[in-house]
Amino acid sequence: MTEPLRISGTDLARSIKEDLKGRVGQLKTQGVPCGLGTILVGEDPGSLKYVEGKHKDCAEVGIESIRIDLPPNASQQEIIDAIEELNADSRCTGFIVQLPLPQNVDTLKVLEHVDPKKDADGMHPWNLGKLVLHTDHLPSTPLPCTPRGVIELLESAGIDFAGKDVCVLGRGITIGRTISLMLSLKGKDATVTTCHSQTVDVEDKIRHADIVIAAMGQAHFVKPAMLKDGAVTVDVGVSRVFVEDEGRWRICGDVDPACYNKVSAYTPNPGGVGPMTRAMLLKNVVEMAQRTLS
Catalytically active residues, by annotation:
54, 98, 121
- Residue 170 annotated as lining a ligand binding site: yes
Distance from the first to the final alpha carbon of the chain: 51
Give the C-alpha distances (Å, rounded to integers) separating 4 from 130, 244, 262, 263: 37, 30, 8, 6
Element containing residue 194 per DSSP (H, E): strand 191-195
What one-character-per-residue DSSP string does 4-38 give?
PEE--HHHHHHHHHHHHHHHHHHHHHTT---EEEE
- Residue 243 annotated as lining a ligand binding site: no
In terms of Cβ atoms closer than 10 Å to its own Cβ (0-12, 13-18, 19+), residue 231 is buried
Residue 162 and residue 192 in contact, taking contact as beta carbons nearer than 8 Å: no
Residue 236 and residue 225 in contact, taking contact as beta carbons nearer than 8 Å: no
- Residue 240 annotated as lining a ligand binding site: no
- Residue 238 annotated as lining a ligand binding site: yes
Give the C-alpha distances (Å, rounded to integers) separating 94 from 83, 141, 230: 11, 12, 40
Q: Which residues are annotated as a binding site for NADP(+)?
A: 170-172, 238
